[in-house]
Structure formats: C-alpha cells, structure tokens
Structure 1
Amino acid sequence: MVHALLHLLVPGIVALLFYRPRWRRAWLILATALLLDIDHVLATPMFDPTRCSINYHPLHTYWAMGIYGFVLLPPITRPWAVGFLLHMALDYAECWQLGIRWPQ
C-alpha cells in the first residue's frame, strides 16, 4: 500500500520541484507511468508481494529502462521518460526493501 502511494507522491514532488509553472499537468504525466504495471497481467500470480518487478516483467527490464533513457532526449517526451524512470526507481527501491539487492 505504501509503495502504491509513493507512485503518486514522488511524481507530485518532482512535478512541484522541476515543473512548477505546469506542475499539475506534469504530475499527471509522471503519475501516468503507473500504466507500466500493465505488464503484471502477464505474470502468474499477477501480484506477488515477495517478487521483485525489475527484470521480471517485460516493461520492467533493463532493456526497457535503456529505451526510457533514450526517450529522455527529445524534450517533448522527456516528462514521460522521467515518469517511467521514477517508476523503475521506486520499484527497484521495493526490491531493496524485499532484500533483493541486484535483480537478475
């Protein structure tokens, strides 16, 4: 539950700090990165509180994160990339909390 709340609060803080004039729109884009979790429907079971998402789900792989890094380059897609990478950082933090230091 706390993890899901962080997926909404952290983008809000980033939006306020770096996108002040349009922070509401920026927060909405950054928080929409939650849509990356759509790949959880491919897993069985769909939700496992002891499983690390990083490198388990297709949109949570290191390859996907590399693509998100390239999406940072054009200014028009940068807020989306920031949202995707924030999502990955929060999921990686959850892995650390679970005791998984370097997901395979």
Structure 2
Amino acid sequence: MLFDIFRNFIHYGFHFLMPIAFGYLFWRKNWKLAALIMIATMAIDLDHLLADPIFAPERCGIGFHPLHSFWAAVVYVVLLFMPSWKLKAIAVGCLFHLFTDSVDCYMGSLKKEMNSPITLSLVTEQCPLGMPNIKKPQ
C-alpha cells in the first residue's frame, strides 16, 4: 500500500511538477509557457487508446505504445536540435515523459518482485530483535 502511494507520487510528480522545474531552469524568460508545453506532452498517452485493453496496470508502456517506442524517442531527440525553444520544450517534455514511464515500469517490476512467492518464501521466522531470518534459496 505504502509502496503504491510512493510509486504514484513519483510518477505523477514527475509528470506534472518536473516540467515546471525544467521550464524555470531552461527557459526562465518563458518558464510558465514552457512548463505548460511540457505538461501538454502528456498527450502522447493518447496512444494508449490504440491498445486492448486500454489500461493494463501490469503492462509497461515503454516499447508497447507507438508514441512510447524507440523510434518516437528518436524523433523527440531530433526535435532537441531544432532552433525553436518551443520545439525543444516539446522534446524535453516527451523525453522526460518516457523517462518517467520507464521509472514507473521499473517500480512496477520491483512490486512484482516484492510480491513473488519466491521472495516471500525466503522469510521464515522472526529473530528475537524483530529482524526476519533469511534462508538461502535451494
């Protein structure tokens, strides 16, 4: 439960708060507009509508959805080299979106690992100090 709260805080904090920080850091003169542009890159999640089911909590979107693919990332990197700061803000927003979703995928794999029967079977009984005795896998 606590892990899920932390995971969601990281995921949505990165999606909505980091663009504000990036906007202020990279485009101080236009930081509010830059932040809005980067938050608007959340629109790349519209590619989830192409999936069946649309939302699967155990699925990692990186490499699965078209706008979360390697080739989409290549396009986002190319946008970094365009002269317009707005295109650069779009690129940073999309690339950071992919990074954020990658972190979420990693945290999802940690949760699966924490809940796996193999991991749970390693803990046997409590030591006197409250620490679990760990037995080696056989």
Same fold (TM over 0.5): yes
1:45 and 2:53 correspond: yes
Task: Give the distance between the partners of 2:35 and 2:65, measured in 1 at CA.
Answer: 24
- In structure 1, stretches of 5+ residues that fail to align are none
Higher relative contact order (CA 8 A, sep 6+): 1
CA distance in 2, matches of 1:99, 1:15: 31
Note the residue ranges of structure 2 that are not aligned, 5 or more in a row: 1-7, 111-138
Q: Which residue of 2 aligns with 1:94?
A: 104
- The letter for the 2-side match of 1:52 is C
The alignment status of 1:84 with 2:77, answered yes or no, reads no
Q: What percent of counterpart residues are identical?
A: 38
Q: Which has the higher strand share?
A: 2
Instruction: Please report how far the alpha carbon of residue 23 of structure 1 lies from its aligned counterpart in structure 2 after TM superposition.
Output: 0.8
Q: Secondary structure at the match of 1:99?
A: helix
Task: Name the CA distance, whole Å, in 2 between partners of 1:46 and 1:54.
Answer: 14
Spell out the pairing of 1:1-104 with structure 2 (5 A cutoff): 1-2=8-9, 3-76=11-84, 77-99=87-109
Of structures 1 and 2, the larger Rg is shown by 2
User: What is the total number of aligned residue pairs between the two structures?
Assistant: 100
Matches of 1:38 and 1:26, distance apart in 2: 21
Q: RMSD in angstroms over aligned alpha carbons?
A: 1.4
- What TM-score do the two structures reach when normalised by structure 2? 0.68
